[in-house]
Amino acid sequence: MLVYAFGNEKARPLMTAIPTVLFVCVHNAGRSQMAAGYLQHLAGDRIDVLSAGSEPKDQINPVAVAAMAEEGIDIAGNTPKLLTVDAVKESDVVITMGCGDACPIFPGKRYEDWQLDDPAGQGPETVRRIRDEIRTRVETLIAELTPSEDAA
């Protein structure tokens, strides 16, 4: 069931059946892209996925692209995006990864800060370790956000 807010703006849902998760890091070229790739791959259409950066780079980190390709997940076509207030507003969960206070805070949203090393300038082994830690956290997030099949 959707609950709508009415006012001076167009009616919009306050709560949706499908949660939206926003991953934010500084450059939106490594950690947040890997997390978004995993969430999209593992959750499918059960969770909407966004990612952005406070100071986005021009392209995704090629070592991150290669590490995700090893998992069968293609993030090569993604483009780093600038963090906007609208992206935060439309998200139910905002996960930051080393971007400090760049992310605006709105009441009623779930915020988490994942302390992860930055893959920028790192070699494949380090990026794989970061990738694997991200996968573990994403799997936990999916379990928390999606109802169990057995709970029905």
Q: In sequence order, what are the beta bridge partners of 123? A: none
Which CATH number do you get for residue 61?
3.40.50.2300
Helix 31-43 crosses helix 124-145 at what angle (to 10 degrees)?
Answer: 50
**In a domain? residue 83:** yes
Q: How many domains does the chain have?
A: 1
Tell me: the pLDDT tens digits for 88-106?
999 999 999 976 666 677 7
Q: Residue 88 falls within a domain, yes or no?
A: yes
Q: What is the pLDDT of residues 2-18, one digit of tens each?
A: 333 333 344 444 445 89
Distance CA 33, CA 45 (A): 18
25 labelled catalytic: yes
Q: Of 25, 64, 65, 127, which is the active-site residue?
A: 25
Q: Do 50 and 28 form a contact (C-beta atoms < 8 A)? A: no
Between CA 129 and CA 67 the distance in angstroms is 10
Query: Choosing from 50, 68, 99, 127, which is the catalytic residue?
Result: 99
What pTM did the predictor assign?
A: 0.84
